Structure 1
């Protein structure tokens, strides 16, 4: 129950150091592109290098393509794949393959351009050299609004708890896995290209001390 309460609390605010924890400074860059191939079908591609251990080395690389189907003008269902290469400083490197299903939909459209959207994702995870598949659920809720009425610069905040449905032979444990919370800006660069710089807090729940990563995050998103 303590872990559940902590995860729910950090969905509204940054996690506090309530008990012993390990910390790291990291930098993540997400390069993404999305666009239609027909009236209903869209494609998506993502490349995400993550520099870890006080931003001294490439600790993880993620590649994630997907295909989506527009159920309505603002609701899209996706089916995708992710390859994740992880190279810890002390430990064995792993290659992970994921299949995922995702639904993106609006929650609120308020006055002055304020919006709240959601991204629901279910992942089936396998690791090379292991036998079992892990199921994980992720729920992101994102709010954004113009900093000035009618302006293009946006204030952005989102949170995303992760929940593991099972325990596997490669290390996934049933229960809350982690929670990520972001605060930053949406900055239009050119037509179709937006940058989202900001601070991302990742708290990973573990036996013993948890791990808190303080991340300088940059997303470059191109819509074509």
Structure 2
């Protein structure tokens, strides 16, 4: 009985003094893809991450705010139906409307492997990022690198206008300033609806977990993701 009581006290102590943070918000996304020629596509991905609720955690006020603006144009080379390569420059602005904002400029290279299983698709992608994150104290952009691996699954429902999309993405900080090597994990599940031949609307739940300091405290960001997906061809196949 004494051991059980001691364990209970320890658990309650850890929970009470935990520095983990939980936020709830909304993630609107525009994801636009177009065909340049038979082998090359472009993609434009724009999003903003909104913390939707005011919170007081351990006496600290966390107001509802825009956490992050994200602009990502990329070029995709289709090596084969199962393999493609991508190259991108990404601009990210954290706390975009607050005085403590800071910018990040990022270049990344990616390879994706696609596998068809009946009417479903299993995807694997590996992305290497070169990051230049603004340090406003000394007015510099120190260099760091990060590796991301994502595994995803997409399958249609019986009504083929609707589909299920899910993925998990692992983030590994390789070089530069970092709180942990395994620094983030993003897990998503959502449902989409095909609107005609060129558009889709997808709604789902995205859970972002990030190591936020050297003490390995975590930030949990629970997001309702709404994504508008469009596909246009500048050049039609002959």
TM-score by length of 1: 0.82
Structure 2 residue 120 is the aligned partner of structure 1 residue 110:
no
Q: Among 89, 92, 97, which residue is 1:81 paired with?
A: 89
1:190 is matched with which residue?
196
1:10 is matched with which residue?
none
Q: Distance in 2 between matches of 1:153 and 1:44?
A: 23
Indicate the SS of the match to 1:71.
strand
2:166 is matched with which residue?
157
Change (3 A) 1:47 1:102: same
Instruction: Note the C-alpha offset of 1:205.
Output: 1.7
Contact 1:120 1:140 in 2 (8 A): yes
Q: Among 126, 143, 160, which residue is 2:153 paired with?
A: 143
Q: Distance in 1 between matches of 2:33 and 2:97?
A: 33
Q: Highest CA radius of gyration, 1 or 2?
A: 2
Instruction: Note the C-alpha offset of 1:179.
Output: 0.3
Q: Distance in 2 between matches of 1:89 and 1:46?
A: 20
Q: Among 161, 175, 186, which residue is 2:181 paired with?
A: 175
Q: Distance in 1 between matches of 2:41 and 2:96?
A: 35
1:101 is matched with which residue?
109
1:219 is matched with which residue?
227
Contact 1:65 1:80 in 2 (8 A): yes
Instruction: Note the C-alpha offset of 1:74.
Output: 3.4
Indicate the SS of the match to 1:165.
strand
Q: Distance in 2 between matches of 1:116 and 1:180?
A: 17
The farther-off stretch of 174-183 and 18-27 is 18-27
Q: Distance in 2 between matches of 1:157 and 1:38?
A: 29
Unaligned segments of structure 2, at least 5 residues: 1-13, 55-63, 233-238
Contact 2:87 2:110 in 1 (8 A): yes
Q: Distance in 2 between matches of 1:73 and 1:109?
A: 10
How many residue pairs align between the two structures? Answer: 201
Change (3 A) 1:160 1:125: same
Indicate the SS of the match to 2:194.
strand
4+ residue runs over 4 A deviation? 88-91
RMSD over aligned Cα, in angstroms?
2.2
Q: Distance in 2 between matches of 1:118 and 1:218?
A: 22
Instruction: Note the C-alpha offset of 1:174.
Output: 4.6
* 1:94-125 deviations in Å (ceiling 9; x for gaps): 1100001011221x3222x1221122111111
Indicate the SS of the match to 1:194.
strand
Q: Distance in 2 between matches of 1:174 and 1:208?
A: 7
Q: Distance in 1 between matches of 2:41 and 2:29?
A: 19
Q: Distance in 2 between matches of 1:79 and 1:174?
A: 26
